[in-house]
Amino acid sequence: MSYLTQYPGVGPKTAACVAMFTLGRDDIFPVDTHIYRVGKRLGWVPTTRTREQAQEDLESLIPNPLHYPMHLLMIRHGREVCSAQVPRCEACKLADLGCPSAKSNQTAGHSSQRRTVHDGSGDAMINPKRLDQKKDIQDETEHKET
């Protein structure tokens, strides 16, 4: 990774993307703005962590075989459902599974207005280590790529 980041304009995220997508490394989990936001809202990443620290957190939290499909799904989820300004918690499949951010928004009575963001403290309700739906995740990723 340090070899790639020595070049101007190549930061940790770009280097991690090259490692994952070009070199097939499954021990890497690139973190962009969408993954960073979703990770914080799910309680997987404390809000005090930087993106680089969040990458370390998520690499150790999410099982290696799930890095690639979870990377794609978290970006898509962050773009389409868990957006920055007005997340659509009412349309989120993770809300019923215990997403702390959706739960705090529901308790606060938010609907389609700007939502509060879970602060990332405490235990996450959704544990990525217990993702028994590996096949479902891969099927969903393959379906969207075609």
Q: What is the pTM of this model?
A: 0.74
Over residues 1-10, the pLDDT tens digits come to 788 999 999 9
CB 122 within 8 A of CB 94: no
144 exposed, middle or buried (CB, 10 Å; 0-12, 13-18, 19+)? exposed
Scan for tokens 């090259």, then name that residue: 18
Contact of 41 with 100, CB cutoff 8 Å: yes
Q: Give the active site residue among 13, 129, 134, 135.
A: 13
Active site residue 40: no
Does the pLDDT at position 113 exceed 70? Answer: no
CATH number for the domain whose boundaries are 29-145: 1.10.1670.10
| pLDDT 10s digits, 14-63 | 999 999 999 999 999 999 999 999 999 999 999 999 999 999 999 999 99
